[in-house]
Structure 1
Amino acid sequence: MELQGKTALITGANRGIGEATVKALFDKGVSKVYLAVRDTESTTHLHAKYAEKVETLQVDVTDKASVQKLAQKATDTHIVVNNAGVMKHESPLSENAEDALRSEFEVNVFGLLHVAQAFESTLVANKGAIVQLNSIASVKTFGDISTYCASKAATYSLTQGLREKLSEKGVAVISIHPGPIGTDMGKNAGFDDAPGPEVVANAIAEALESEDFHTFPDDVAKQIGDAYASFADNIILGDMSL
């Protein structure tokens, strides 16, 4: 994909990986970015930096009607980066595991469904791309954040399904699998010394140019990606049907 002159929309664009992706896409020549966030007051620093190149739109990805309204306002979008997500710190034996799992599925899993369905016609018309922020937790479960891992395994499954269905219509689908990243969410999980979000943001921009389905951006992720590569190439990306 040629990024020069394209319009992008990023959910959860006000901080962390979302904010870093705004910069990475502008560095690659994207002309406009929609900042899709719950709190429209949270993007003032990005408007101060990028002026008319950004536009803030309110959305709650857990609300299907809200996402549909967003899509109706952003019909010139070529690239959707589905970045919005939540992480709870619950094991399967935690007292709050059920509530955590429900919350993470509402945002991470149903949020992806809502975004993909609402933007399908726009991305098909514009021959665009959708980027899903998955995780190494999509393919490897870590006990203390098991509910989060379960939600990301589900989003990865949906991302594979989107690739199968949307690629037939000329839409690129990209699955990003970071390891521990030094965002607010990452630091809350104890990832104080992890690489910054720009590592993931730059990988997103490069993946859009190459249209590679899998991207494992940081050093920890690359270790898992290298071990996973044979299965991914032969089974996930291979010509296998039921």
Structure 2
Amino acid sequence: MNLHGSTALVTGSNRGIGRAFTTELLRRGAKVYATARRPELVDVPGVEVLRLDITDQASVEAAAAAAGDVDVLINNAASTAGGDLLGGDLRAVREVVDSNFWGTLAMVRAFAPVLARNGGGAILNVLSAAAWTTVEGNSAYAAAKSAQWGLTNGIRAELAAQGTQVTALVPGLTATESMEAFAREHGLDLPEGALNDPADLVRLALDGLEAGEVEVLDRYGVQAKALLAGPPRSFDLSGISG
């Protein structure tokens, strides 16, 4: 799919990977709807800003009505702070599942008819290598991402008939505010070079989208998927090197 001349909507555009998506899509010649729960925090010139809470059905429907020309949907927004499944706050566990699974599904259901009217288009879901392992201290997030991976595979099959491409971005550690906060909370000293630069990751993702790839993996994603052939393992944050 050629992104030049396309119309994209990016969720969670106010920071991190979402902000990098909006910037790179503009550079590639796309019109961009940049969405966030707090739209006043979106600071990328040249985008059309919309308020969007992916866990609020009315907000999702309003965004689909306002952005009827979209042919590329980037599902990036999601909570990352679920904590442990057994000992964590159950409200936080529900929040991470609500945003990663139910929020993504709400967006896809709302925008699938929009994409169909506009020729099929494409969906890119931002997943995580944690979907294929687990993470001690944040097993709820890993479980939610596993569910989102299953969702992505399911909608790929269901949307094939309308010509909608579905791509999964499956990255590992990325230098976002949420990742840095997690590292501080758990006393992790991540060496220089251990984290993806969001701009580099987004270029990799959009290159893959344009090439029609089903999954786009960084080095951590490659390692995590290889582990699926063996016994289940946790992602060892303590062993990360640059």
Q: 1:6 touches 1:29 (CA, 8 Å); kept in 2?
A: yes
Distance in 1 of aligned mates of 2:82 and 2:158: 33
1:199 matched to 2:200:
yes
Aligned counterparts of 1:167 and 1:199: Cα–Cα separation in 2: 29
Alignment map for 1:169-208 (pairs within 5 Å): 169-190=162-183, 192=190, 193=192, 194-208=195-209
1:162 alignment counterpart: 155
Supply the distance in 2 between the matched residues of 1:171 and 1:86 (Cα, whole angstroms). Answer: 26
Deviations 1:56-96 (A, max 9, x none): 00111001111011001101111000000111152233242
CA offsets per residue over residues 71-129 of structure 1, 9 Å max, x none? Answer: 01101111000000111152233242x22210111111110111000001111122210
CA distance in 2, matches of 1:17, 1:211: 21
Partner letter of residue 12 of structure 1?
G
1:21 is matched with 21
Deviation at 1:28, TM superposition (A): 2.3
Contact 2:82 2:93 in 1 (8 A): no
For the pair 1:215 / 2:229, whether they are aligned, the reply is no
Aligned to 2:81, what secondary structure does the other structure show? Answer: coil
- TM-score of the aligned structures, taking structure 1 as reference length: 0.86
**Partner Cα separation in structure 2 for residue 199 and residue 78 of structure 1:** 23
Query: Is the 8 Å Cα contact of residues 87 and 185 (structure 1) preserved in structure 2?
Result: yes
Q: In the alignment, residue 207 of structure 1 is paired with which amino acid? A: G
Aligned to 1:103: 95
Q: Secondary structure at the match of 1:17?
A: helix
Partners of 2:71 and 2:85 in 1: CA distance: 39
Instruction: Name structure 1 gaps, 5 residues minimum.
Output: 230-242
Aligned position for 1:4: 4
Residue range with higher mean Cα deviation, 108-117 or 192-201: 192-201
Please give the secondary structure, in 1, of the residue aligned with 2:138: helix
Displacement of 1:223 after TM fit? Answer: 2.3
Alignment check: 8 A CA contact 2:17 2:198 kept:
yes
- In the aligned structure 1, how far is the partner of 2:160 from the partner of 2:133? 26
C-alpha separation in 2, matches of 1:99 and 1:71: 28
Aligned to 1:118: 110
Match of 1:2, as an amino acid? N
Q: Cα offset for 1:209?
A: 0.6
In the alignment, is residue 88 of structure 1 matched against residue 74 of structure 2?
no
Q: 1:159 and 1:166 mapped to 2: Cα distance?
A: 10
SS in 2 for 1:85: coil
Aligned counterpart, 2:63: 70
Cα displacement (A) at 1:227: 5.3
> What's the counterpart of residue 240 of structure 2?
none
* Identical residues among aligned pairs (%): 33
User: Which secondary structure state, in structure 2, belongs to the residue aligned with residue 189 of structure 1?
Assistant: helix
**Matches of 1:25 and 1:205 in 2, distance apart?**
8
Measured on the aligned residues, the alpha-carbon RMSD in Å equals 1.6
Deviation of the 1:167 alpha carbon: 1.3
* Deviating 4+ runs (over 6 angstroms): none
Q: Which amino acid aligns with 1:13?
A: S
Q: Which residue of 2 aligns with 1:46?
A: 44
Q: In the alignment, residue 108 of structure 2 is paired with which amino acid?
A: A
